[in-house]
């Protein structure tokens, strides 16, 4: 299945981005990858130059610069809420299935073989109940037409939750809300497989997400399961 990959980063996420890109090239299957889009929301020129050495990587000017310093701050929210708009642009332009993956992810095994080509899109289903059934760290838009329809509804629900609730983070709750309100053919992929916080041998992607035990970028890069990749790529 020919496809694209999309991620978003600013310079504060530079180290995450380097881990993401290098692990993708080492452990991912890029044989049918058309383009790896990196939406630039404030990368330095030397980082952009570094990315230019990787085939298939295209750095796209996001049209704004975000100096996100911490999870859930204004810059972080702007980056996060823009992801769905960037995905919509890529689907409209390329008409190819596209995987939207957070740049603080590390690929540890190929994930393309997991994908059901007959689904409308893949959703990352949380293993923990509570905040939101789905998390937006890994999303695969497989059926382009259906995914574009879904994205319009998802974007609208992000705006609704921003204006009607006190939630600090609306992307994932809006994703869950949109799936639950509609009748799309969703392939649910477990968080432990495609966005693992505490990875096992079955995990395909690790997510170095912020949590109470690792709030800063430095803390997250110092997590035990990140060390082999930090030493390998940074």
Q: What is the 3-state secondary structure (H, E, C) of the chain?
A: CCEEEEEEECHHHHHHHHHHHHHHHHHCCCCCEEEEEEEECCCCHHHHHHHCCCCCEEEEECCCCCCCCCCCCHHHHHHHHHHHHHHHHHHHHHCCCEEEECCCEEECCCCHHHCCCCCCEEEEECCCCCCCCEEEEEEEECCHHHHHHHHHHHHHHHHHHHHHCCCCCCHHHHHHHHHHHCCCCEEEEEHHHHCECCCCCCCCEEECCCECCECCHHHHHCCHHHHHHHHHHC
**Per-residue pLDDT band at 151 (split at 50, 70, 90):** very high
Do residues 137 and 105 touch, judged by C-beta distance below 8 A? yes
pLDDT in tens, 168-208: 889 999 999 999 999 999 999 999 999 999 999 999 999 99
Domain extents for the chain? 3-233
Instruction: Tell me what percent of the residues of the chain surpass a pLDDT of 90.
Output: 83
pLDDT in tens, 115-133: 999 999 999 999 776 679 9
CATH 3.90.550.10 fits 3-233, yes or no: yes
């Amino acid at each position: 299945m020919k496809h694209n990959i999309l991620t978003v980063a600013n310079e504060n996420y530079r180290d995450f981005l380097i881990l993401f890109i290098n692990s993708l090239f080492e452990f991912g299957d890029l044989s049918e990858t058309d383009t790896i889009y990196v939406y630039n929301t404030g990368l330095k020129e030397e980082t952009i130059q570094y990315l230019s050495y990787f085939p298939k990587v295209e750095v796209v000017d996001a049209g704004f610069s975000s100096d996100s310093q911490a999870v859930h701050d204004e810059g972080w929210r702007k980056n996060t809420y823009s992801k769905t708009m960037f995905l919509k642009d890529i689907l409209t332009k390329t008409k190819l299935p596209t995987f939207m993956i957070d740049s603080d992810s590390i690929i540890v095994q190929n994930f393309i073989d997991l994908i059901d080509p007959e689904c409308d899109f893949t959703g990352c289903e949380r293993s923990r109940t509570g905040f939101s059934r789905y998390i937006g760290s890994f999303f695969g838009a497989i059926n382009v037409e259906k995914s574009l329809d879904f994205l319009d509804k998802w974007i609208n629900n992000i705006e609704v939750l921003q204006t009607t609730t006190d939630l600090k983070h609306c992307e994932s709750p809006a994703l869950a809300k949109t799936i639950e309100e509609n009748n799309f053919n969703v392939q649910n992929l477990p968080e432990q497989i495609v966005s693992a916080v505490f990875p096992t041998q079955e995990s395909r992607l690790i997510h170095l997400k912020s949590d109470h035990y690792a709030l800063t970028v430095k803390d997250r890069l110092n997590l035990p399961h990140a060390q082999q990749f930090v030493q390998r790529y940074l």
